[in-house]
Chain A
């Protein structure tokens, strides 16, 4: 199992965002998380990345026990959250090279990722602050591609992207899967998402059910 949650409770400021979530994800799956706003999808993804303390239950991601150690899992996952994690005053290229230097990725990987996301040429020397929302999202996705994570966690990756960007994203995720990665993503673009996913889970009221 890549991810295995059992009765997991995650608390934000006395609010149980996850209220006993149980599910499993096995290797090579592309899992869609669907559910209304505030259902706990974002919390679920962040918890998988080892960013949130597990208040109750047991959580195991990539053979790391999150209840005792939330740190060793982080190197193995890639997280795309609502925020893009970019520095507004730096150009696309500078952002890319910062994040790739931190994880020791090669220049070739950076170039490839930028090419995939259509960020070469003029855009690469544009400051992130001057990009459109969709272009920022592409840049954030490019930093994620460079990571070569074993588990991809994406929070509404389709939001803000144009059709072409969405196609590229879907292609990228399928390629990652073929290379042996596992993907979990939340989306409200149900048709496109279901087309991409191999399985879908519904998150409501901090609980996870098969759908």
Chain B
């Protein structure tokens, strides 16, 4: 056995390894699939009970989809870091001496994957439960909106999730930090989704201005997060 330390691994490989690890754990433990998805679906049904009016439901469907996504976001983010803190794996990641911004992107992509699965279910349930119609152009807008909004949410979720991982009172601190940050995503994604759904007579074209905002948000926190994550997670 030689004692030279192994050569430094490329960033892309670390991103892939972390991403696959998080997804694999989810496929095994099924926390998002078996707990968060039913929770989010239930929220959509509860909204229908609470609002109890087909017209209103159609109008607010976009907002409800993204509100349910946000609530689930907190649970998924906490779960995403709980798997790393449970048995000290986060320490091992620190000692591995790898580029922590690669860990940031790996975890963010895994988080985005889970969120997209969740959003597909939520949008489908909106179509089924709230009788929303989506046109072909609306669908293009909707898919773009989901992709941009999800990247933004995944970046800030991973960033602040890392900051609060292992901290005392993280259950309340995480929403306190995340909620004001994700407000632009909630507003923009909701408007874009409403435009795609044609809620309240909105035109599809109205939605694209919001996509720009979502893209800027994702870009800003993608860059900011990759710079800040290391110093937040690693004292």
Contacts and interface: CB of A to CB of B under 8 A. Distances in A.
A190 interface: no
Nearest to A82: B88
B14 interface: yes
Contacts of B87: 83-88
A33 B131 CA distance: 69
A148 B89 contact: no
Contact of B6 (A50, A105, A176): A105
Contacts of B167: none
A81 B5 contact: no
A209 B28 CA distance: 48
Interface string B1-26: 11111111100011001001100110
B176 interface: no
A99 B96 CA distance: 8
A94 interface: yes
A202 B60 CA distance: 68
Interface stretch (A14-22, A72-80, A157-165, A192-200): A72-80
A149 B86 contact: no
Contact of A104 (B9, B21, B25): B9
B28 A89 contact: yes
B95 A77 contact: yes
Interface in A46-82: 49-51, 53, 71-72, 74-79, 81-82
A147 interface: yes
Contacts of A85: 87-89, 91-92
A102 interface: yes
A133 B234 CA distance: 28
A148 B24 CA distance: 27
Interface size class of A (residues with CB under 8 A): 35 or more
A75 B21 contact: no
A180 B4 CA distance: 9
Contacts of B4: 148, 150
Interface residues of B, number: 33
B98 interface: yes
Interface in B24-83: 24-25, 28-29, 83
Interface string A121-153: 000000100000000000000010101111000
Interface in B181-199: none
Given A85-B91, A175-B1, A147 B235 contact: no
A88 B86 contact: yes
Q: Which of A53, A88, A94, A102 has the most CB of B within 10 A?
A: A102
Contact of A89 (B2, B7, B25, B91): B25
A86 B89 contact: yes
B6 A150 contact: no
B94 interface: yes
A83 B28 contact: no
A115 interface: no
A84 B86 CA distance: 10
Contacts of A101: 9, 13-14, 17
A104 B91 contact: no
Nearest to B98: A102
Contacts of A150: 3-5
Interface of A: 49-51, 53, 71-72, 74-79, 81-90, 94, 98-99, 101-105, 127, 143, 145, 147-150, 175-176, 179-181
Interface of B: 1-9, 13-14, 17, 20-21, 24-25, 28-29, 83, 86-89, 91-98, 234-235
11 contacts: A51-B95, A71-B97, A71-B234, A83-B89, A87-B89, A90-B24, A94-B21, A103-B9, A104-B13, A145-B1, A150-B4
